[in-house]
Amino acid sequence: MQKNNSYIAVNRLQRINVKYTNVLFLLLLVACGGDRVADTQPQKWQDAEVRVESRPSPPRPGVNEFLVIVTGKRGPVHDIMVSVRTDDQDQWIQAIQDGEVGVYRRAAKVAPGTRSVLQVRMKRNEVEGVLRFPLNLSP
């Protein structure tokens, strides 16, 4: 009987070790995993922080998708209108709100020179502002 009890105890310890080993391995993967590097530095508009990410990252010459992520003190900001362009001569193109999570998406043409700056226009309650995000293009 004692052999059986010790066998059960050893089995339980091995299962627990396997579980914790798996959890530790997953935590290491998350910690070492490719945390997305921001394409640009965040900027402030009114009381919100505005970040820009591109798809692909870093952006390449040609058409890229941009995500404008707006976060306030209480979380995502979803009561604004966001438009983008990459040149002063272009018309503003309204970004599409991705739910109510403070993410706005739009594609825009990027090229070396004046088109390597993403201009983001924000509007809320008749207040408007423009932020400029310089883009580092991949070759």
Helix or strand (DSSP H, E) at 31? helix 2-32
> Where do the domains of the chain lie?
1-35, 43-134
pLDDT over 70 (residue 122): yes
The mean pLDDT value of the chain amounts to: 82
C-beta neighbour count of 21 within 10 angstroms: 10
How confident is the model over 6-60, as pLDDT tens digits?
Answer: 677 666 757 666 555 554 444 444 444 444 445 689 999 999 999 999 999 899 9
Q: In angstroms, rounded to a whole number, what is the distance separating the alpha carbons of residues 120 and 104?
A: 11
Helix (H) or strand (E) holding 97: strand 96-97
- pLDDT reading at 5 higher than 70: no
pLDDT of residue 39: 64
State pLDDT tens for residues 49-106. 999 999 998 999 999 999 999 999 999 999 999 999 999 999 999 999 998 899 999 9
43-134: CATH topology = Immunoglobulin-like (2.60.40)
Look at residue 71 in the predicted model and tell me its pLDDT: 96
Question: Is the model's pTM score more than 0.75?
Answer: no
State yes or no: pLDDT of 109 exceeds 70.
yes
Q: What does the alpha-carbon distance between residue 67 and residue 50 come to, in Å, rounded to a whole number?
A: 10
Q: What pLDDT is attached to residue 115?
A: 78
